[in-house]
Amino acid sequence: MKSNRTILTDFILVGFSFYPQVQTFFFIVFFGFYLLTLIGNLAIMVLTWADRYLHTPMYLFLSALSFSETCYTMTIIPRMLADLLFTSRRISISGCGLQMYFFLGLGGTNCIILTLMGYDRFLAICNPLRYPLLMTNMVCGWLVALAWAGGFLISLVETILIFQDFFCGSNHIQHFFCHMRAVVKLSCLDSNRKTIVVTIISVSGLLGTFLLIILTYVFILSTVLRIPSAEGKQKAFSTCASHIIVVLIHFGFASIVYLKPESSGSEDTLISIPYTVVTPFLSPLIFSLRNKDMKNALRKVLGKSCTLSK
């Protein structure tokens, strides 16, 4: 127990106060990213709902990922934008706990949905004849529900572990949101052991889902290489290309955040930007630009809109 310390009732998010001269610039840039992220993800969800041709497991998983990432950004970025404009950065302990719970839960859900998307491609390429029976829309819905349940179950364990004790000492969180490492440091009890346990849970979740994706693509690659025609190989690879790129970006940035050694607060803040701001922005962009079905659906919707306007 850290002796002679006052028990805390709220926190202050230090955020980007390390760089007061560029906070307005940060606000403009992050607001632009956030707006484009919302537009991209909402467009994917609307197109998937509007075009019956996209009512397949592949696009239902993509729509579920877009919805999850929309919620994911809403837990962090609006609060971060407000803190860039106003000097009061206080957040209650309960508010901090809720933010961490939803951030970790939605982050875990994203990882599981990306894994399910890899499994969907595995079934489509390695078991094409049985695919319509194995992966129906109902099965897809149940898998997405399990992804949400799994992500938030892990998040609940981590959040309870972090917030089960009192906090004392400085109430300054050296981050722009309630990042678990930054919050654990303020625990009245020994924070080192708790940090290790929470890190192990997070890393296990990341590595577990990533290794499952790698395993599915090992089977996919072995199947594609046996396809005799070059056109067939190219078609098979094209259906996986966007997913592979998003997986590499998502897990690459996440590994930097959770596997790197502890550093100063300002460095942690900057390193977390790609994972919380850039990755959700790139995902809908990559899936949309590299997908002919999505482009065709957009043309149909725009065509109907033009016809109605006339």
pLDDT in tens, the chain (310 residues): 444 456 777 888 988 877 778 888 989 999 999 999 999 999 899 888 888 888 889 999 999 999 999 999 999 999 999 988 887 788 999 999 999 999 999 999 999 999 999 999 999 998 888 999 999 999 999 999 999 999 999 999 999 988 887 888 778 888 889 988 888 888 887 667 777 888 888 888 889 999 999 999 999 998 888 878 777 778 777 778 888 999 999 998 888 877 776 655 566 778 888 888 988 998 888 887 667 777 777 777 666 655 555 5
Alpha-carbon distance values, 169 to 91, 172, 224, 273, 285 (Å)? 16, 9, 58, 27, 43
Euclidean distance between CA atoms 237 and 161, whole angstroms: 42
Q: What is the pLDDT of residue 99?
A: 95
Q: What is the pLDDT of residue 296?
A: 75
Euclidean distance between CA atoms 128 and 126, whole angstroms: 6
Q: In CATH, what is the architecture of 10-298?
A: Up-down Bundle (1.20)
pLDDT tens digits, 185-230:
888 876 677 778 888 888 888 899 999 999 999 999 988 888 787 7
Euclidean distance between CA atoms 109 and 116, whole angstroms: 10
Give the CA-trace dihedral at 67, 71, 77, 81, to 10 degrees. 100
In the block, tokens 């900057």 appear at: 270
Euclidean distance between CA atoms 301 and 119, whole angstroms: 30
Q: Which amino acid is at 214?
A: I
Euclidean distance between CA atoms 232 and 119, whole angstroms: 20
The length of the chain in residues reads 310
Q: What is the pLDDT of residue 60?
A: 93
- Non-local CB neighbours of 303 within 8 Å, separated by 6+ positions: none
pLDDT tens digits, 16-28:
877 778 888 989 9
Q: What is the pLDDT of residue 115?
A: 96
The strands making up 172-173's β-sheet, listed across from edge to edge, are: 90-92, 10-13, 172-173
First-to-last alpha carbon distance for the chain, in angstroms, is: 72
Residue from 2, 4, 17, 47 nearest 291 by CA? 47
Alpha-carbon distance values, 66 to 30, 99, 100, 218, 284 (Å)? 19, 19, 20, 26, 7
Q: What is the pLDDT of residue 202?
A: 85
Q: What is the pLDDT of residue 141?
A: 93
